[in-house]
Amino acid sequence: MNKEWSLDVLYKGYDDPKFQEDEKQLDELIKEFVAFAEDLNGDPKDVLVRSLDLVEKLNGKASDLFSFASLSQATNTSDTKAAAILGRLSSKMSALAVPNTALTKYVAGLEDLDAVIASDPLLKEHEFYLKNIKENAGYTLSPEVEKVISLYEISGSSAWSDLQSFLTSTVPVEYKGKTTSLSDIRNMAYDPDPEVRKSAYEAELKSYDRIKDAIAFSLNSIKAEVIRHCELRGYESPLDETLKNAHMKKETLDALLGAMEEYLPKFWEYMKAKAKMLGHENGLPFYELFAPLKGNEKEYTTQDARDYLVDLFSTFDAEETEMIARAFDEAWIDFYPHDGKVGGAFCAELNNQKQSRILTNFGGQLGDVITLAHELGHAFHNYCLKDNSLLNRDVSMPVAETASTFNEVVAMNAAISMEKDPIARRALIENQLQDANQIICDIYSRYLFERSVFENRDKEFMFADRLCELMLDAQKKAYGDGLDPAYLHPYMWCCKGHYYSGHLSYYNFPYAFGGLFARGLYAKYLKEGESFVPLYKKLLKATGTTTVEGAAEVAGIDLTDKEFWRSSLQILADEIDEFIELCKE
């Protein structure tokens, strides 16, 4: 089986004539769109139909070029050619700020937009897209200002983000007389040897001294830029901007976070029970969060992972099973960590090819198999959207984590249900609770941290030590007495790339949303059986053309009702109770 993904479906390399021809066509499409936006006259129906055609073609061409360069850079952050190309493409796309603004103003000025949309099938298909343009017009600045912002972002938030990614992927970590990468050292948190887990944690924390100041400047600069942009555009706050861009009500977020806060003590019980299992009396040290328990020693090859996931999902849906097999067999996945490769895992959609590419840092543990299931869930979400037009595949952050987490739940619950040995069953339940603990306690800590950074940025420049203080405060509130206060992780702000975006703030609560929403959907699947699957795929397809709440309504769910979130959290609370009982045996 392949170890690395193949990007040949896009281009054979930067010197591929197709790459050069596509970049030339992108230039021509940009010129065409700029000229079109300068003269938005005539029948509104014709203007909107023409605009949809041009924007779709332009975005499609840009998608291929950006995907190839960014995915190449993800596996080699020292790829100077990729960095140069991404900068060049970003500069080209900055020319769209003026015409995009002009088109936004045009759509916003159509008093009879509903009637125009109803007059044409293509416009009706893109009703959600067009109405969002009108809604967002109130937060759009003049064409000249938008152009300046777009240009400055290239050397502003985008460059600061690249710096964080580069530093965390290339910083040398000294461990037992050898030099390794941050991805490798963080993977040691799953090692069965407690000495390895602790020493790796200590080596990781020490390595941040090399890069913490530069990353602190990155975070401060990005958050300052976001705050200024929100003020200029008229958003109440970065959170207000995030919710509006996510097409999600504040009432939904309040219901979600409120329910999570109620159940935090239950997760503290889980961590204290695990701590005692591992011989710790003052709560769980941070380096033990991912410690595997006895009974979970099995190691997996990538072939094992393929066989397990294909066999498992064959009982759920034939389409998803076929897609999973293709992902393994057709080199969609880049599996293993190495120097220069970014950490973590992600799934990227190849829009025109109707495929996905998945990056992981596979270490052979069950958690790595579950990570593959998670990212393949993203790929299946992309698959369900593939017949939508390109403009109707833009999924908001919260629902973007639904299919991925649903896959996690399917994979883990299947493993647990098949296990009869109490020690092995306890280990599997604990493995699932590890992940749940991340989407509840860890995600809540990340939300609290980012909120505090935004609240403090105008008051002060937060140097590394101050950011560590804010992170520790957030961890204490989210993890309570479940963690040993002597062993927290003050540098979690350094290694989490989600903080480092000028366009995506608060990319944390969507994971909690997705995790709990998916569990609610899984409960419906268990109750309704095969009849649920078409409804599930319909829901995923709808995420590109409706609000977060609208997508949930497809499955008859009211997301503003805290009781829905409580019901999903109670599923996890019941698992915690079973785990605690098994710990007593």
pLDDT in tens, 2-29: 999 999 999 999 999 999 999 999 999 9
Residue 531 CB partners (closer than 8 Å, separation 6+): none
Mean pLDDT of 55-64: 96
Residue 194 CB partners (closer than 8 Å, separation 6+): 278, 288, 291
Amino acid at the residue 516? L
Counts for the chain of helices (H) and strands (E), in that order: 27, 5
Question: What is residue 38's predicted lDDT score, i.e. its pLDDT?
Answer: 94
Say whether pLDDT at 50 is over 90.
yes
For residues 531 and 461, give the distance between their C-alpha atoms in angstroms, rounded to a whole number: 55
Say whether pLDDT at 247 is over 90.
yes
Question: What is residue 143's predicted lDDT score, i.e. its pLDDT?
Answer: 79
The residue ranges of every structural domain in the chain are 17-152, 161-294+437-499
Question: What is residue 397's predicted lDDT score, i.e. its pLDDT?
Answer: 85
pLDDT in tens, 213-222: 999 999 999 9
CA-CA distances (angstroms) from residue 526 to 308, 414, 435, 533, 562?
20, 12, 21, 11, 22
Strand partners, 347: 358
What does the mean pLDDT of the chain come to? 95
For residues 319 and 240, give the distance between their C-alpha atoms in angstroms, rounded to a whole number: 38
* Conformational region of residue 419, where left means phi above 0, alpha means psi within -120 to 50, and beta covers everything else: beta
278 touches 291 (CB < 8 A): yes
Beta strands in 133-283 (DSSP E): 173-175, 178-180
Tokens representing 538 are 């319909």
Backbone angles phi, psi at 216, to 5 degrees: -60, -40
Count of beta carbons in the 10 Å neighbourhood of residue 354: 12
Residue 365 CB partners (closer than 8 Å, separation 6+): 190, 292, 299, 300
For residues 503 and 156, give the distance between their C-alpha atoms in angstroms, rounded to a whole number: 12
pTM (predicted TM-score): 0.84
Residue 563: pLDDT band (50, 70, 90) is very high
Instruction: Give the alpha-carbon dihedral of 445, 447, 453, 455, to 10 degrees.
Output: -120
CATH fold, domain 17-152, is Butyryl-CoA Dehydrogenase, subunit A; domain 3 (1.20.140)
Question: What is residue 366's predicted lDDT score, i.e. its pLDDT?
Answer: 85
pLDDT in tens, 413-434: 988 988 888 999 999 999 899 9
Count of beta carbons in the 10 Å neighbourhood of residue 184: 18
Residue 206 CB partners (closer than 8 Å, separation 6+): 174
Say whether pLDDT at 380 is over 90.
yes
Beta strands in 299-354 (DSSP E): 333-334, 346-350
